[in-house]
């Protein structure tokens, strides 16, 4: 599966670069260690050969379109195209500068789940073959099914096929991951306030405030983030609970009505914090209250910049 799509990406990228249709192709390349693919900027036909497609293309490269002034092609699966629409809508990206190479995502893999299968052993090499993963390392080689090791957000994905594209790579595939996105938030919703606070604290207690989640997110493009602002200082610099909570509550809220549940934040986190717990609650509320899902239409107004006279207001008073 993987290989012939990689070949196709390389070939198309090569053509686009040789014909000078685009200046750069943004895609993925092999990481320095297994299961950690990196973002690749191919600027010459030779560099196009570095491009690959695998189950670990978990970062959201739409972030790198922000501010590009020259024609750029981008390899984009469903969630990435949704973020591109968001960025065009927020005037960060010009549609005419982007050449979208749409691609169906088979559901990306979670390197942490796979590593957890081999405690104390290091995976040196890993291949994907159809719906199987083959991992090998010192003294072992094992085959296991792909579908048990996907990222959480890929199970509940609703748009695996690109929402917009200029050119399609490979075939369109199934549109959904099969899971129910509302369930991400429901375990907390059933609890009482003190228990919720307890699991909330528990979920975020290991955060080291490295801001990888913010830096990976295509929505976080402010010149000055609220966490970096010194005057007023919204959030202290420590890893003390109140500061970590402030950071995560506000980070999630700043993504309200814009987050496409691409999961780049969770994939980028070095300690495995599940911050989608917060963003998916907001996503669900906005969908239920205002009937809006982000990144589906180029002319849709963002839900929190808009209003309707009969918005729910049961909480007021």
Measuring CA to CA, which residue among 36, 33, 17 is closest to residue 25?
Answer: 17
The span from the first CA to the last CA of the chain, in angstroms, equals: 57
Measuring CA to CA, which residue among 193, 187, 214 is closest to residue 273?
Answer: 214
Residue 232 C-beta: closest distance to ligand SF4, Å: 21
Q: Compute how many residues bind other proteins; rule: CB under 8 A.
A: 45
Interacting residue with other proteins among 236, 274, 287, 300 (CB under 8 A)? 236
Instruction: Tell me the two tokens of residue 12.
Output: 């198309």
Q: 120 contacts which partner out of ligand SF4, other proteins, none, CB within 5 to 8 A by kind?
A: none
> If binding is defined by CB under 6 A, does position 259 make contact with ligand SF4?
yes
Cβ atoms 147, 131 nearer than 8 A: yes
Interacting residue with ligand SF4 among 271, 288, 297, 311 (CB under 6 A)? 271
Helix (H) or strand (E) holding 288: helix 276-290
Query: What whole-number distance in Å separates Cα of residue 300 and Cα of residue 24?
Result: 29
Cβ atoms 38, 31 nearer than 8 A: yes
**Segment lying near ligand SF4 (by CB under 6 A), choices 27-35, 118-126, 227-235, 261-269:** 261-269
Residue 287 C-beta: closest distance to other proteins, Å: 11
> If binding is defined by CB under 6 A, does position 265 make contact with ligand SF4?
yes
CB closer to other proteins out of 113 and 196: 196
Interacting residue with other proteins among 266, 282, 293, 294 (CB under 8 A)? 282
Interacting residue with other proteins among 196, 209, 274, 287 (CB under 8 A)? 196
Query: What whole-number distance in Å separates Cα of residue 150 and Cα of residue 114?
Result: 9
Residue 234 C-beta: closest distance to other proteins, Å: 5
Place of tokens 């695998």: 54
Interacting residue with ligand SF4 among 59, 269, 282, 286 (CB under 6 A)? 269
> In sequence order, which residues have a C-beta less than 8 Å from that of residue 51 and are 6 or more positions away?
6, 9, 10, 13, 25, 27, 28, 29, 40, 42, 75
CB closer to other proteins out of 96 and 202: 202
Cβ atoms 246, 201 nearer than 8 A: no
Residues lying near other proteins in the complex (CB under 8 A) are found at 185, 188-189, 193-198, 200, 226, 232, 234, 236, 240-243, 245-246, 249-250, 252-253, 256-257, 278, 281-282, 285-286, 289-290, 303-307, 309, 311-313, 315-317
């Amino acid at each position: 599966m993987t290989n012939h799509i990689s070949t196709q990406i390389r070939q198309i990228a090569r053509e686009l670069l040789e014909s000078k249709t685009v200046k750069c192709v943004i895609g993925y390349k092999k990481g320095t260690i297994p299961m950690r693919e990196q973002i690749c900027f191919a600027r010459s036909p030779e560099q196009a050969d570095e491009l690959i497609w695998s189950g670990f293309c978990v970062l959201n490269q739409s972030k790198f379109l922000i501010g590009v002034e020259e024609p750029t092609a981008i390899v984009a699966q469903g969630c990435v195209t949704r973020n591109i629409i968001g960025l065009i809508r927020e005037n960060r990206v010009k549609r005419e500068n982007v050449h979208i190479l749409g691609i169906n995502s088979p559901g990306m893999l979670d390197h942490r789940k796979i590593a957890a299968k081999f405690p104390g052993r290091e995976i040196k090499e890993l291949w994907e073959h159809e719906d199987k993963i083959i991992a090998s390392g010192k003294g072992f080689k094992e085959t296991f099914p792909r579908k048990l090791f996907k990222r959480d957000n890929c199970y509940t994905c609703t748009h695996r096929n690109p929402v917009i594209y200029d050119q399609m790579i490979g075939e369109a595939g199934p549109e959904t991951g099969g899971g129910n996105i509302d369930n991400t938030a429901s375990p907390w919703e059933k609890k009482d306030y003190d228990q919720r606070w307890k699991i909330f604290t528990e979920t975020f207690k290991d955060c080291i405030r490295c801001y990888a989640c913010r830096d990976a997110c295509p929505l976080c493009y402010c010149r000055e983030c609220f966490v970096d602002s010194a005057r007023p200082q919204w959030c202290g610099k420590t890893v003390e609970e109140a500061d970590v909570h402030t950071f995560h509550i506000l980070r999630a809220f700043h993504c309200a009505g814009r987050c496409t549940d691409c999961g780049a934040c969770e994939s980028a986190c070095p300690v495995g914090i599940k911050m989608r717990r917060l963003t998916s609650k907001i996503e669900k509320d906005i969908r239920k209250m205002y009937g809006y899902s982000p990144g589906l239409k180029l002319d849709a107004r963002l839900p929190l910049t808009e209003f309707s006279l009969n918005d729910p207001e049961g909480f007021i008073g």
